[in-house]
Amino acid sequence: MSFFRKVDVPNHAHYIVAFFVAVIGAVGVIGNMLVMYAFFSNKKLRTPPNYFIMNLAVSDFLMAITQSPIFFVNCMYKEWVFGEMGCKMYAFCGALFGITSMINLLAISIDRYVVITKPLQAIRWTSGRRTLIIILLVWIYSLCWSLAPLVGWSSYIPEGLMTSCTWDYVTSTPANKSYTLMLCCFVFFIPLGIISYCYFFMFLAIRSASRDLEKLGSHVRKTALIQQQSIKTEWKLAKIAFVVIIVFVLSWSPYACVTLIAWAGYSNYVSIQSYELKLCAKLEYHIKHLRIKHCFHPVSCLVF
């Protein structure tokens, strides 16, 4: 495929996309910078659970800063203008930071699950050092998937309107098809299943704790109330993360489905549509951090 191929669409389509990309990029950069500033300027926020939120802000900030400017320039020129190597680096960064965000959300869900359903084990195992090790593993896992197309398992190519790049889910080759299927499974569907499992049992644990509290006598209820309040606080944090996860899933589910449609052999029907879906995904993907930014304000977190 030529890296300088153009798509026959009206010029105004490119300019409309460029406008939205500029807005999305600004929201992503500014919103995540505010999150990082809040984290580093307030010692009370520098807790192990918030390390995950900070990591999410870093990955999404890097996503915005590496993707939006290049995307915008290409839209203005109405074609990919940064050559084959530029395409590969652009797609690599998009994959690395996007996968990191998804797996980080998985880590947040598991962390909340352990704290709420197994509080005693959480006290013993939760620490800043272990959290940092988990974050490091998240980046290593994401790096492995992102490097694969650069070393021969699939490849990075322009897509849609030919103003952005991603992995080749259109060309029907064994390498491309296997990578697309494995990527969707191990980066999207399996993590989504684990996240769903965690939140289902967190909900059951909260409901069970509430019922147990009602059965207690008044002489032990005060102590139980303290424990119940602690669980409710953790549940509020879990709900905040859940909102982010829902938006993330709603954003990327159509794109994942489009890639699987192409994987099944119907790529002629999805090339341009996939581009439009990805644009919508990026819009929701960065806007979700408007909510995360409020979560670093103590009052906002308490009233969520």
Q: Rounded to an integer, what distance in angstroms lies between the CA atom of residue 89 and that of residue 102?
A: 20
The CATH homologous superfamily for domain 11-303 is: Rhodopsin 7-helix transmembrane proteins (1.20.1070.10)
Q: Band of the pLDDT at 1, cuts 50, 70, 90?
A: very low
Tokens 């009602």 appear where? 214
- Can you say whether the dihedral through the CA atoms of 54, 32, 301, 247 is positive or negative? negative
Domain range annotation of the chain:
11-303
Mean pLDDT, rounded, for 134-160: 95
- Residue 261 — very low, low, confident or very high, per pLDDT cuts 50/70/90? confident
How many helices (H) and strands (E) would you count in the chain? 11, 2
Mean pLDDT of 278-293: 54
- Conformational region of residue 26, where left means phi above 0, alpha means psi within -120 to 50, and beta covers everything else: alpha
Average pLDDT over residues 239-262: 74
Residue 164 has pLDDT above 50, yes or no: yes
Confidence band, pLDDT 50/70/90 cuts, at residue 159: confident
Q: Which two tokens stand for residue 14?
A: 């490119």
* Chain segment 191-210, per-residue pLDDT in tens: 989 988 988 888 888 777 66
Let me know: does 148 contact 179? Beta carbons within 8 Å.
yes
> Tens digits of per-residue pLDDT, 82-129?
999 999 999 999 999 999 998 998 998 898 888 888 877 777 777 888
Q: With pLDDT > 90 as the criterion, what percentage of the chain qualifies?
A: 36
Better-predicted residue by pLDDT, 166 or 224? 166
Task: Name, in order, each residue with C-beta under 8 angstroms of 55's C-beta and a sequence gap of 6 or more.
Answer: 100, 104, 135, 138
Return d(Cα 301, Cα 304) in angstroms, integer. 5
- Of 87, 89, 95, the closest CA to residue 144 belongs to 95
Report d(CA 199, CA 207) in Å as an integer: 12
pTM: 0.83
Confidence (pLDDT) at 300: 39
